């Protein structure tokens, strides 16, 4: 797999400190030709599931040979293993805490390596910042074409991602709200492809919390300004939004946080 | 017009999600040599006038041949047309909703194209994310030197930007606050060049809301710490600021939001 | 010193406006090959000490020949001098207000120049945005290999950074909280190297405000979830954190802002 020279960065480090810039400096010191792209650095602190979804959704839009560096790492300095893998013609580098589980689940032929070869680390390795001392340099060496196999041993038992999966109960799919985006859209763990396989979307409706049932539409402007709408978002998931408004505020009137809110897809009677 | 290889991005997509990164991935997949620069992704949700001003002010500082991709697009998936234009030796790509109106107004010889040639789109085109499926790929192809003319038909009736323009009433200019910047400066729609054409700035003063009249100074430190000051900002507009403080907080004591606050420029009696 | 072509940017300009993008456009117009990396643009408004620390901590991780452009500039347009310097095989460009004091203190052989040669400025020079009109173009010319010496006169009396330094009192070091990072960690002005020189860290403990004394640990997960911990952060400073939590919230219960909170390092009795 020929590296594209692109390294993406995804963290929960925020934008106020120098942590992300330090990782970029480390990468550019090793590979002055690396081309860096931020995915986001505003993942909720320690939220591995959120980061895993964002990465899985963004990765396919990058060129083959891209290195995806992801550091949401609440266990840094403890027993969790640093890993790297090749899947879908891209590389992924980060902690073994479920971050790459959706990618691994989608691509079972992935080559997964426990990063143990300290030749590719920055020394001394800080116990609190493996992003700088392990993951950034490994990503940089991968972007130079260094072989993944030389960086450690094959790993067979990656840590799975613990999170609720949507269930099919009798005549309905039951999932939940797993993310609120910048526009206030409530993004669920129910996939478009599953709804389309199991239902006729034109004849289905969506129940979320205590809101009135919603038909599934195509785009926001299909309903009046301020009205709630269910639709399949650009990431391939069922969402609830408001045309020119914020669904999270509407749902928020009834519950403290919309995360975890129950969502059902049913067939019209 | 030879492309510079630079593509700028301006959106209201925020920094929490993967939307911006996905657009960047699309661009780099089509043009691996593209050089990406963010203008901002924190435009107020759906605020086309704000985005239009930011773009008009930033664009002239970029090299000729730069592609400016701007996606503030509340009507996505509806009837609004996707467009691209060449003006001021730069390209602009985005929705036809007034976003490029200031550029068009300044440069009447602009070539304006309704993007209809689906060869330059990503397929299938999502009804909710034309930034990814139409505007990013078109920007990428333009940055490769692809001809604008081939991308669609000439368009003669772009949607104008609806917003209040400053008025000249008897002996005074009357405008309003249209933006609050990161420092809390209140930025008006009154242009420096108009004030200088109509008044002698040294003999003019500025009335904003119920604040005491202000003389027009050169820079913040011309007044004492904490004092209000009127001045022409670096973007060529009349502003009201506070030396080492936040004008929006001072004005905010008297009104809920400073946006839309009436601003007058008068000659000293 | 051969430039690396990398220019980093550090400001308090925020991410909502076009100010940072305008500086990037200016740099790329002068040096189309420049490679731009943001350190942060969310320095607290006018906080020179915070910016100085962030810059000093990030700079060594960038390749030699990097240009560090830093604009936290509350005195813009007044009497403060624009400067540039070469130190530690890197260049630094910005206002003479203490921003580069930690770098200068660490590297006494630095070459320091008062930027007076207007050939390297953008004209007309705005009185409120030297970032755009002086610092960005100077950084761009340095990144092209232009000689620092030609850009002005040698300057011997840079403005020092005024801020509290930790004190050694009898048997203890006394410092204070100087920064709160994105994770809520309370970062002090007490350096790891000083503690290690003066104490045996295993036998030392840390008192912060009215909190119970803390032992110095290695990493967050050395204590139970939710427990406070003292440790040396990746930037080489004594910090107080909470495993999987936010120390600033814990300390915040007892005082309004943790900034300036007294921190002592003592030997166990």
H or E element at residue A86:
strand A82-87
- Determine the pLDDT at residue A252: 57
* Rg, chain B, Cα only: 20
Above 70 in pLDDT, residue B269?
no
Mutate one of A9, A16, A58 to test the B interface: name it (highest B CB count within 10 A).
A58
Å between A170 CA and nearest CA of chain B: 31
Cβ-contact B173, B264 below 8 angstroms: yes
Above 70 in pLDDT, residue C140?
yes
Nearest residue in B to C34, CA atom: B35
Phi/psi zone of residue B184: left (φ > 0), alpha (ψ -120 to 50 degrees), beta? Answer: left
pLDDT per position as a tens digit, C220-257: 889 999 999 999 999 999 999 999 899 988 775 555 78
Q: Does B220 touch chain C if contact means CB atoms closer than 8 Å? A: yes
Alpha carbon separation from A269 to A171, A239, A266, C144 (Å, rounded): 11, 22, 9, 70
Above 90 in pLDDT, residue A149?
yes
Percentage of chain C with pLDDT > 90?
A: 77
pLDDT band of residue B252 (cuts 50, 70, 90) is low
- Measure the CA–CA gap between B208 and B251, rounded to whole angstroms: 9
ipTM of this complex prediction, to 2 decimal places: 0.95
Cβ-contact C219, A125 below 8 angstroms: no
* Chain B residues closer than 8 Å to C21 by CB: 8, 37-40, 58, 61
Three-state DSSP class for residue A53? helix
pTM, entire model: 0.95
Å between B95 CA and nearest CA of chain C: 20
Alpha carbon separation from C100 to A111, B238, B243, C160, C177 (Å, rounded): 46, 33, 23, 9, 21
- Determine the pLDDT at residue A78: 84
Residues in contact with C147: Cβ distance below 8 Å, sequence separation at least 6, in sequence order: none
pLDDT band of residue B72 (cuts 50, 70, 90) is very high
Q: Do B77 and A220 touch (CB under 8 A)?
A: yes
| Option in C19, C127, C129 nearest B218 (CB) | C127
* Chain A residues closer than 8 Å to C35 by CB: 28
* Chain B residues closer than 8 Å to C77 by CB: 218-222
pLDDT per position as a tens digit, A227-269: 999 999 999 999 999 998 999 887 755 557 888 899 999 887 6
Can you spell out the DSSP letters for chain C? ----SEEEEEES--SSSSHHHHHHHHHHHH-TT-EEEEEES---TT-HHHHHHHHHHHGGGSPTT-EEEEE--TTTTSSPPEEEEEETTEEEEEESSSTTHHHHHH-TT-EEEEE--GGGS-SSPPSS-HIIIIIHHHHHHHHTT--GGGGEEE-S-PPPP--PPPEEETTEEEEEEEEE-TT--EEEEEEHHHHHHHS-GGGEEEEETTSPPEEEESSGGGS-TT-EEEEE-TTSEEEEEETTB-HHHHHHTTSS--TT-EEEEEE--
pLDDT band of residue C269 (cuts 50, 70, 90) is low
Residues in contact with A62: Cβ distance below 8 Å, sequence separation at least 6, in sequence order: A4, A6, A8, A37, A68, A90, B25, B28, B29
Q: Does A65 touch chain C if contact means CB atoms closer than 8 Å? A: no
* Chain A residues closer than 8 Å to B36 by CB: 37
- Determine the pLDDT at residue A269: 65
- Determine the pLDDT at residue A201: 79
pLDDT per position as a tens digit, A184-216: 999 999 999 999 988 887 889 999 888 889 999
Interface of A with B in 169-198 (CB under 8 A): 181-183
B203-212, B230-239, C48-57, C174-183: which has the minimum mean pLDDT? B203-212
Residues in contact with C256: Cβ distance below 8 Å, sequence separation at least 6, in sequence order: none
Percentage of chain B with pLDDT > 70?
A: 98
B122-126, C238-242, C263-267: which has the minimum mean pLDDT? C263-267
A245-254, B211-220, C131-140: which has the minimum mean pLDDT? A245-254
Interface of A with C in 3-62 (CB under 8 A): 12-19, 21-22, 24-26, 28-29, 32, 36, 45-46
Q: Does A132 touch chain C if contact means CB atoms closer than 8 Å? A: yes
Three-state DSSP class for residue A30? helix
* Chain B residues closer than 8 Å to A4 by CB: 28, 32
């Amino acid at each position: 797999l020929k590296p594209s020279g692109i390294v993406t960065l995804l963290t929960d480090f925020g934008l106020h400190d120098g942590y992300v810039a330090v990782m970029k400096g480390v990468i550019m010191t090793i590979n002055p030709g690396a081309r860096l792209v931020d995915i986001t650095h505003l993942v909720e602190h320690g939220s591995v599931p959120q980061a895993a979804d964002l990465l899985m959704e963004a990765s396919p839009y990058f060129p083959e040979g891209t290195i995806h560096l992801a550091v949401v790492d609440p266990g840094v300095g403890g027993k969790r293993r640093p890993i790297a893998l090749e899947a879908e013609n891209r590389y992924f580098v980060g902690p073994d805490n479920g971050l790459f589980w959706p990618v691994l689940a989608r691509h079972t032929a992935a080559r997964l390596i426990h990063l143990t070869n300290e030749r590719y680390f920055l020394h001394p390795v800080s116990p609190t910042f493996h992003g700088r001392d392990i993951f950034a340099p490994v990503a940089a060496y991968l972007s130079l074409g260094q072989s993944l196999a030389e960086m450690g041993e094959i790993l067979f038992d990656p840590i799975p991602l613990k999170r609720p999966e949507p269930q099919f109960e009798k005549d309905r799919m039951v999932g939940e709200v797993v993310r609120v985006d910048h526009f206030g859209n409530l993004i669920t763990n129910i996939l478009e492809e599953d709804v389309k396989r199991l239902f006729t979307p034109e004849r289905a409706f969506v129940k979320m919390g205590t809101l009135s049932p919603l038909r599934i539409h195509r785009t926001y402007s299909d309903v009046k300004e301020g009205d709630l709408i269910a639709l399949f978002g650009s990431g391939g998931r069922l969402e609830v939004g408001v045309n020119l408004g914020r669904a999270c505020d509407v749902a928020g009137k009834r519950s403290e946080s919309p995360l975890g809110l129950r969502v059902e897809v049913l067939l019209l009677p």
